[in-house]
Each structure stands twice: as C-alpha cells, then as structure tokens.
Amino acid sequence: MKWFFSEKHRLHDANLEVWAGHPSPSTEVAARADTIAELLRGDASFTEASPHAHGIDPITAIHDPRMVAWLATAWEETRPFSETREIIPDTIRHVSLVEGLGEQPESMNSPLGRLGYWCFDTMTPIVEGTYEAALSAVDVALSALDELDAIGKATYALCRPPGHHAGRAMIGGFCYFNNAAVVANAMIERGAKRVGVLDVDVHHGNGTQQIFYQRSDVVYASLHGDPDRFFPYFTGWLHETGVGAGAGFNKNVPLATGCGDDEYLASLDETLEYLDECGVEQLVVSLGVDTYALDPLSDLSISRRAFHQMGSAIAARGLPLVVVQEGGYDQADLAYNVQSFLRGIAQLDPKPEPEERDPSSLSKQHL
C-alpha cells in the first residue's frame, strides 16, 4: 500500500493549549505523525510517496474562502496581542452573543475578534507555520486520492494536523482544514455519483458532518464516544440524520463508556451495511485510533487486534478508499495501532501482539 506524508507538518509546532481553563502542553504534537512514519518505513508492505501541491481551490470548495485567507495571516496579525508563540482566542463568538440583534455587519476590524470568529475552542493554537502545515496536510490527502484514481487500490494519507472538526467556516479541535472532506468533495468533482466518509475517531467529526449535512452525494457515518461525555459535546447525536437533500444521508453511532471490541465491531458492520445501502462508490476513512483502551482521550476499550479487524471488515466491502489520519494520542502504541488498521485494510496478517501495558498506570484527560 502506498502512503503519503509531508515533513512540513512539523511547521505546526505548538506547545500550548487550554483545556477547561488549564494551560497545558499540546496534545496534538509533531511526534505523533513522525512515529507513524518511522514504523511504516520499517514495514516492507508499505511504500512511502511524496505529495504534490494542489493549491487552495479544493480547500475553498468546502471552506469559506474568507476563513482560508484569514488563516494565512492570523498568526502574524495577532502577534502584538500574545506573549506566547501560540495564538488562542479569548473571546469566541457564542451563538447567543448577537441573539436578537438583527442583521449584524460581517466586518471584524479587531484581529482578536477575527480569531474568536473563526475558532470555536481553546485547544487549537495557531503558530507561525500552522497555515503551511495545514496546506501540506491537504496536499497529502489529495495526493493519496490521485494515487487511488491511478491504481484503484486503497491508499493512506498520513495527515497532520488532523481535520474532521474543522467546519465550513471554523477551525477547532486541533483541526484547521478538513482533509477528509476535501478528499470526499474531490471524489465527487472527479465524477463519483455518491461517496461515503466513515469516521472511526473517538470524537464526532462535527466538521465533516456539517459540511455535507445537506448533501446527498456525500454520506457521513461516524462511530464515536457519546457527546453526553465527549468533545465536541454539541453534535454526534443519533437523531442527526441530515436535512433537505441530505435527509437520510448522515448516521451517528454514539458509543457507551467501556465499549469493547465485540460491540464496536458489530456497530461497524451495521454502519458499513448502511453505507452499502446508500450506494456509495468510494470511501474516505477518517482514521482516529483514539478509541484505543490506553489512549489518554478515550474511555472506550478497543484493542490493537480490533484495529486490524476493523481494517479487514472495511476492506471486505471492496470499495476504493483513501484512509486519512485523524486522532490518536497514546504515543507509545499509536503507530502500532495505525499499522494494525492499515494491514487489515491491505488484507495482510496482523503483526504479533505486543505485551499489554497496565491501563491503571495511565492518567486520562477529562472528556
């Protein structure tokens, strides 16, 4: 299997984020992608390839062009207001802030106002190289699609930063441009009648859902921790099934605390059945391995063996597909979990199980 990767992801090198009011070291760090790349380079079943530039048109096809233009200069224009390298909003445009005020002007003259307009949380810092890194992640994803178009086999895009929380007109949840959504939209623009996005990250891909919620040509289906206890809290419910032309083309499967392999794989089978029934011709897989039992952001109990089974179950449907990297934060096992999933996709045997670590020795973030 060919996989695509750009060293430019390291330009996004934030050290700081704010969780529930607490400044803390960044969760989404460059070492995540580097450790996956290192492991895949040592596996002869995988072949690394370099991405090439696709410009911003595929990005502005799904994101507000004003947001894309803002992100290009956001760090520079907010420099005078921050004592840290990272820019994080202090005031976010809450939906009720202008409630009842009638039509509001769109102009925002304050750089901090613009930051709070486009960013919806305090965990998505912007540093000097963020824009370039985010562009490179899209190029990685689209280059993987080019390869799929050329050879018709599954490909893997080792994207960083991730993308599935980025909506049409907002960044957030460690995400800037929605790599998976760019690929799904490009599949349609290149001639597919209907495609699916299968999101297996432990967090709901609110951005991807929103971008396609009113469309019938891109079907979004997600398995994730219940929003009653998981970021982004406000989306990912069972009743969100699409509106307008998109009615019936969105599926959410919120999962309970402690959900194990058997329950998860049964839910995955149902979701794959749903995508089949929708008649999708191609698939984008938003691969988050933060469902892992030892992941600091997870309260599910998914094993490495299950990642291989997930890959195998998806591959068995026979759809051409691009796997796009999203989350996964257990630095010790992250790369093994991704490799296990990809070997399942490629219909290769799993690697031998490593020794189990003791989950009680880990501290979990509050999600």
Between 8 and 203, name the residue whose CB sits nearer to Zn ion: 203
Between 213 and 292, name the residue whose CB sits nearer to Zn ion: 292
Residue nearest Zn ion (C-beta atom): 327
Stretch that binds Zn ion, among 44-52, 200-208, 267-275, 304-312 (CB under 5 A): 200-208
Between 70 and 120, name the residue whose CB sits nearer to Zn ion: 120
Among 8, 12, 32, 203, binds Zn ion (CB under 5 A): 203
Counting contacts by CB under 5 A, is residue 290 touching Zn ion?
yes
Q: Minimum Å distance from CB 322 to Zn ion? A: 18
Stretch that binds Zn ion, among 15-23, 202-210, 212-220, 356-364 (CB under 5 A): 202-210
Encoded one letter per residue, x for contact with Zn ion by CB under 5 A and - for no contact, window 64-103 reads ----------------------------------------
Q: Minimum Å distance from CB 222 to Zn ion? A: 11
Cβ neighbours for 299, distance < 8 A, ≥ 6 positions apart: 225, 229, 257, 258, 364, 367
Q: Is 335 helix (H, G, I), strand (E, B) or coil?
A: helix
Which helix (DSSP H) or strand (DSSP E) does residue 39 occupy?
Answer: helix 30-41
E-assigned strands of the chain?
A: 2-4, 16-19, 22-25, 47-49, 155-157, 195-199, 218-225, 250-255, 282-287, 321-325
For residues 275 and 269, give the distance between their C-alpha atoms in angstroms, rounded to a whole number.
10
Q: Minimum Å distance from CB 100 to Zn ion? A: 35
Among 199, 201, 240, 330, binds Zn ion (CB under 5 A): 201
What residue has token string 């969780």?
A: 19
> Pseudo-torsion of CA 161, 163, 168, 171, nearest 10°?
-50
Stretch that binds Zn ion, among 114-122, 203-211, 232-240, 245-253 (CB under 5 A): 203-211
Q: Minimum Å distance from CB 224 to Zn ion? A: 8
| 18: β partners | 23
Q: Minimum Å distance from CB 158 to Zn ion? A: 16
- The footprint of Zn ion on residues 323-352 (CB under 5 A) is 327
Q: Is 353 helix (H, G, I), strand (E, B) or coil?
A: coil
Catalytic (active-site) positions? 165
Two tokens, residue 242: 């699409």
Burial class, 42, CB count within 10 angstroms (exposed 0-12 / middle 13-18 / buried 19+)? exposed
Between 65 and 258, name the residue whose CB sits nearer to Zn ion: 258
Say how many CA atoms lie within 13 Å of 162 toward its Cβ: 31
Among 209, 180, 190, 168, CA closest to 281: 190
Q: Minimum Å distance from CB 367 to Zn ion? A: 9
Q: Minimum Å distance from CB 288 to Zn ion? A: 4
How many chain residues interact with Zn ion (CB under 5 A)? 5
Between 201 and 261, name the residue whose CB sits nearer to Zn ion: 201
- The footprint of Zn ion on residues 229-288 (CB under 5 A) is 288
Between 232 and 246, name the residue whose CB sits nearer to Zn ion: 232
Stretch that binds Zn ion, among 151-159, 195-203, 339-347, 358-366 (CB under 5 A): 195-203
What DSSP state is assigned to residue 309? Answer: H
Between 78 and 124, name the residue whose CB sits nearer to Zn ion: 124
Two tokens, residue 227: 């929003």
Dihedral sign of CA atoms 217, 218, 223, 225 in order: negative
Two tokens, residue 304: 């490495």
Residues at the site binding Zn ion, with contacts judged by CB under 5 A: 201, 203, 288, 290, 327
